[in-house]
Copies of this chain bind each other. A is one copy, B any other.
Amino acid sequence: MTQASPQRLGAIALACLVEPGTAGVAELVAEHGAEEVLARLRGQGSAARVVGRILPEQVPEMLAEMSRRGVRVVLPGEPEFPSQLLDLAEPPLALWIRGPLDLRAAALRSVAVVGARACTAYGERATAAVAGGLAEDGWAVVSGGAFGIDAAAHRAALAVVGPTVAVLACGVDVAYPRAHDALLARIADAGLVVSELPPGSQPLKHRFLARNRVIAALSRGTVVVEAARRSGAMATASRALEIGRVVMAVPGPVTSMASSGTNRLLHEQVARAVSDSAEVASLLTGPGSLGGDPGLQVGTRDGTHPAALDGLTDEARTVLGALPSRGTRTVEAAAERAGISPAACLAHLGLLEIVGLARRVGPGWRRCA
């Protein structure tokens, strides 16, 4: 964990104070620093909607308590903070995180899979196929932890021991929806549970829309599986489009209300139609790929990657060290050697693959020359 400098404590206290998605705060922080902005907000009756009040001097105790409960916080510019979140007009001031993966590494090769709470059996099947296939290939499946398509996406990733990230509209320690208590615990065990709201925050209505922008920005692309015309998933697609992410939709029966939004996205040519995980992956990485990777500026695929090693976290280096340069090693064997979970290992392998340092060969992986 980064040293708790006064600046960091001030930034965390500020993040606890300001409602997610509030316009202009990031600019103020960039210009004046978090401590100054915090002082101003506290000094005067501020217009900014506030989340929770905490003094900078109380932050260390809060962080210690959170640490005991397995929750860490990362700020913009810190190693685990995904730089592509800065594509947002109102980037998160902080992210609270539970789980064993590295968020930045996971986000570099991630896809949001979102959709209706009231989904159909078809939507669940399609989600399982798309999200499962992507997770199996090391793509982190990002979703919102809600009922319906979200839950199906997380479960599909967990089922293949692939990386998955739940971005919540409440604190990472709040079980919402309550029926997803166990699911969120499994995600926190094997993947990541993330929120820009401080622990203890409740899921208020406007926070879902703010949360959707984080899902959109965190991922290289967003797949909408089933959605009615006016729905949160459509809002996520819209935010993804605004910041230049690839928006995809799974076609569905035109006779199904649950596919009315997705089919509309296709009709309006807002979204590309995707029928399986291979089509998603090809849009994000294939020749003529639509997906820029704003976070990926290390290494190249042609074998010349002087900067690649510099961009790696310590854990990613450990995974790289766990790969043979001849023959191959399975994800499980590499994970054991690296001393991390298979899901975390797979997320790193996905990243190492796109920066050209690792290669999948049949069922195993090898280090690139």
Residues in A lying within 8 Å of B, measured CB to CB: 122, 125-126, 129, 250-255, 259-260, 262-264, 266-267, 269, 272-276, 279
Residue among B260, B267, B273 making CB contact with A263, cutoff 8 Å: B273
Q: A266-B273, A275-B267 are in contact. Are A254 and B251 (CB under 8 A)?
A: yes
Nearest-neighbour CB distance to chain B for A342, whole angstroms, equals 28
Give CA–CA (A252, B273) in the complex, Å.
Answer: 11
Give CA–CA (A269, B254) in the complex, Å.
Answer: 18
Residues from chain B with a CB closer than 8 A to the CB of A250 are: 254
Residues from chain B with a CB closer than 8 A to the CB of A263 are: 251, 273, 275
Which of A260, A262, A264, A275 has the most chain B CB within a 10 Å cutoff?
Answer: A275
Give CA–CA (A255, B269) in the complex, Å.
Answer: 22
Residues from chain B with a CB closer than 8 A to the CB of A264 are: 275
Residue among B129, B255, B274, B276 making CB contact with A125, cutoff 8 Å: B255
Give CA–CA (A276, B255) in the complex, Å.
Answer: 9
Give CA–CA (A250, B264) in the complex, Å.
Answer: 11
Residue among B254, B275, B279 making CB contact with A276, cutoff 8 Å: B254
Q: A260-B275, A263-B275, A273-B266 are in contact. Are A253 and B254 (CB under 8 A)?
A: no
Residues from chain B with a CB closer than 8 A to the CB of A273 are: 251, 263, 266-267, 273
Residue among B254, B269, B272 making CB contact with A267, cutoff 8 Å: B272
Can you name 8 A-B pairs with beta carbons within 8 Å?
A: A126-B253, A251-B252, A251-B262, A260-B275, A267-B272, A267-B273, A269-B269, A273-B273
